[in-house]
Amino acid sequence: MSKILVTGAAGQLGKAVIQHLLETYKVPASDIVAASRDTSKLVDFAAKGVETRKADFDDEASLTAAFSGIDKLLIISTDALAVPGQRLKQHTSAVNAAAKAGVKHVLYTSMPNPDKSLVTFAPDHLGTEQAVKASGLPYTIIRNAWYNDNYLHAMPHNLQTGQWFTSSGTGKVPNISRDDCARAAAAALAKGKAENKTYTITGPQSLNADEVAALITAATGKPLAVVQINDEQLKQGIEGAGLPGFVADMLVSADANIRAGNFDGVTNDYETLTGEKPQSAADYFKANKAALIG
């Protein structure tokens, strides 16, 4: 088997990818490397026989060392969003390190339509995709749609008040669970070939805010009214809740992107990679009723 490395292995997506490699695709633990800037967070994987390595995205030399001897590398996009340009710099360092280390196949978690997206971090993804392609390394780009999991952050409060303030209009999103995205990435690592291909991983249905609210009400039994506001009002509300300005800008830009229709569009790429159907939003909300209620 090929030696597979997953960056960000201490994060939610990285952990789930490795779990799917081990459990769904039966990849031997000895063929998997879990990488993080803090290897103390990887003890559970180490106990299962997974090799752990330190990989600091702000230190290209550490990345080159971490990627040594690796056949397939999954670069999970970092969370460095507070400083403009930092995340793209980190990703570019990772691509450069992969080339120096002689990695045979690079996979990268991106987002849908980064070339026309209004989301504040879209340039990071577009720039990374361009860096991957310019490296000359065989690649697979996995563009993950908006997570259903994102609703779990604010929805408990929304359900308490019975109102969901959004500026997304009638725009639709083919939401998918983080776990399904992890399974798709694991499938690409375990079974995929280095075919220089881009996959867009979506849920089975594209829904607007009213349709999402109806599913959440059906799952929880709690009424939820969608209240459409403008971007400035949304930003004021988010900042008023105590979130940092860059987070407010990101969330407002996401709603604007939905409103513009740039997230819309359902694909069969999840099924192509996994051979399975993705979980529906209705089933996701039913399964996560307790988290929605808070």
Is the Cα dihedral 255, 13, 176, 139 positive or negative?
positive
Q: Is the whole-model pTM more than 0.75?
A: yes
Short-list 88, 40, 36, CA closest to 62 = 36
Question: 85 lies in a domain?
Answer: yes
The residues, ordered by sequence, that sit 6+ positions from 135 with a Cβ below 8 Å of its Cβ are 95, 96, 98, 99, 106
133 lies in a domain? Answer: yes
> What is the pLDDT, as a whole number, of residue 46?
98
Rounded Cα–Cα distance for residues 89 and 80 (Å):
10
Domain membership flag for residue 68:
yes
In a domain, 54, yes or no: yes
Which pair of structure tokens corresponds to residue 193?
A: 């070939």
Q: CA nearest 252: which of 223, 228, 230, 279?
A: 230
Between CA 6 and CA 201 the distance in angstroms is: 18
pLDDT in tens, the chain (294 residues): 689 999 999 999 999 999 999 999 999 999 999 999 999 999 999 999 999 999 999 999 999 999 999 999 999 999 998 888 999 999 999 999 999 999 999 999 999 999 999 999 999 999 999 999 999 999 999 999 999 999 999 999 999 999 999 999 999 999 999 999 999 999 999 998 888 999 999 999 999 999 999 999 999 999 999 999 999 999 999 999 999 999 999 999 999 999 999 999 999 999 999 999 999 999 999 999 999 998
Amino acid at position 293, single letter: I
Is position 120 within any domain? yes
> Rounded to the nearest 5°, which phi and psi values hold at 128?
-70, -45
Q: Strand, helix or coil at 2?
A: coil
- Paired residues of 226 in beta bridges: 164
Q: Judge whether 236 lies within some domain.
A: no
Residue 248 placed within a domain: no
Q: Which residue bears the tokens 């969370």?
A: 79
Using alpha carbons, select from 6, 28, 27, 26 the residue that is nearest to residue 17.
Answer: 6
By 3-state DSSP, what share of the chain in percent is helix, strand and coil, each rounded to 5?
50, 15, 35
pLDDT for 1: 63
Output the domain CATH number for residue 199: 3.40.50.720
Give which of 266, 252, 72, 271 is closest to 165, Cα–Cα. Answer: 252
Name the token pair of 242: 């105590």
Overall domain count for the chain: 1
Number of residues that make up the chain: 294
Considering the domain boundaries, does residue 95 fall inside one? Answer: yes
Domain range for 104 is 4-147+176-203+265-279
Q: Are 119 and 253 in contact (CB under 8 A)?
A: yes
